[in-house]
Amino acid sequence: MTGLALLARERGFDVHGSDQAIYPPMSTLLSTERIPVTGGYEPESLLPHTDMCVIGNALSRGNPLIEHILENRIPYTSGSSWLRESLIPSRKVLAVAGTHGKTTASSMAAFIMDCCGASPGFLIGGIPGNFPVSARLGERDWFVIEADEYDTAFFDKRSKFMHYRPDVLLMGNLEFDHADIFSSLEDIKRQFAHLLRSVPPNGSVVINSDDPNLRDVLEQGCWSKIVEFSRQDERCDWFVQALTEDASEFDVYQSGRLLGRVTWPLFGAHNMMNALGAIASCSEAGIKPLEACKCLSDFELPKRRLERLNSKGSITLFDDFAHHPTAIKNTLESIRAAAPGQRVIAVIEPRSNTMKLGSQQDLLSKALVHCDVAVIYRRPDLSWDPATLALHSPQTRLLALDSVDAIREAVVKEARIGDQVVMMTNGNFDGLKDLLQNDLA
């Protein structure tokens, strides 16, 4: 929604927003860009003579502002619909879909295009490291968008990505998530199958061939060019081979031919696969792959994507957006590979609706084998107790704590020189980031 506000103002609209809880990095971006935001959803926050209300999917019937809009017949639409119909109606769209890595891969695609002179527009659900804003209209044909499978609005329960009608669709992975709106993995696969039907016959679907769930989706029908990428099958259209244990250097192959080498400050096999998908999809948009590989040496991760908070210090502190067990696993594996022999302390807030419901406890337990200490926030709105997690490694110690103050005290007491501490949440963890930054400095 912050990105939509930026795009709307760039297009010439006067913009004002409302939200319940506003926190960095988006609150900082809105303040820097001088877009006013009212806390809460009182009808009085709506400015007189409002021409259009763009409503996000966090709001439901019963919300006082929603009821005011409906009762007074004020024009309203969803963010996804308004973007496609009013802001970018004639643009070519490169959409990045998947359960994990959408923000990173879409940031990579936008950066590659920009680095190669395509000057794309973009809308990304985070703040890209190479751009000062999360969205811009751009100057040429292409628009890069992070394509989320979550529902559109209280009045439109289709996945948001159904509005984007991509010319190039990148699908990086697919797992069960969003248990509050999807009943099963098959339910999510169905939405992805519908997305495939929206790609035109002269468009391209760039797909991670290593993911069996995505292959299931393809079998439901695809009427566009299919481009496959992999790190397991070198026969695919695109193949990647890590040259270092932490995947900070890798070779990129196209149709079996070595195309280029990427050496960058990032680490983690998941980031390497995001890069391969971005290179392949940008190639379908007309970008030379060798140039794309060269560009990535200067790529910076978006804010809160394995972001190191203390550039110096004997104890490393990361902030990461991981909130699904597989994303948590990928993050912990990456840190372990980048700092072999060092202890890893995972500080986790189970904040997403799926995590609150407790439907992925076994996956989370398995993810924790990649850390030495797991500190989990026992939020009052959880329907399960983290202390009951069945750990799959005797080397992992579990602490389930009831407050941020208790977590802070435990981490400070536990951490020692050389440790890798990573906070993982899709919220602001009640300010824990700033507290630990000061404590571990």
Say if residue 98 is in the same domain as residue 182: yes
Residues 190 and 312 both lie in one domain = no
Which of 77, 106, 135 is at the close of a domain? 77
Instruction: Count up the domains in the chain and report the number.
Output: 3
Which residue, 298, 326, 346, sits at the end of a domain? 298
Does any domain span residue 83?
A: no
Q: What's the pLDDT at 114? A: 97
pLDDT tens digits, residue range 301-327?
A: 888 888 888 877 789 999 998 888 888
- Residue 138 within a domain: yes
Where residue 50 sits, what CATH number does that domain have?
3.40.50.720
The answer to whether residue 123 scores a pLDDT higher than 80 is: yes
pLDDT score of 181: 83
Domain finish residue from 239, 274, 298: 298
Q: What is the CATH number of the domain that holds 175?
A: 3.40.1190.10
Please check whether residue 266 lies inside any domain of the structure: yes
Residue 329 is part of a domain; what is its CATH number?
3.90.190.20
| Residue 336 to residues 183, 212, 346, Cα–Cα distance (Å) | 34, 26, 11
Same domain membership, residue 135 and residue 22: no
Q: Residues 188, 313: one domain?
A: no
Residues 103 and 73 in one domain: no
pLDDT surpassing 90 at residue 225? yes
pLDDT score, position 285: 97
108 and 71 part of one domain = no
Asked if residue 82 is part of any domain, the answer here is: no
Is residue 290 domain-shared with residue 315, that is, in the same domain? no
- Residue 79 pLDDT > 90: yes
Same domain assignment for residues 252 and 175: yes
Query: Does the pLDDT at position 392 exceed 90?
Result: no
151 and 272 part of one domain = yes
pLDDT at residue 149, as a whole number: 93
| Domain carrying residue 10 | 2-77
User: Is it the case that residue 122 has pLDDT exceeding 80?
Assistant: yes
Please give the model's pTM, rounded to 2 decimal places. 0.86
Is 228 domain-assigned? Answer: yes
Residues 138 and 186 in one domain: yes
The reply to whether 323 and 267 lie within a common domain is no
Average pLDDT value for residue range 199-226: 96
Kindly state whether residues 167 and 275 are assigned to the same domain.
yes
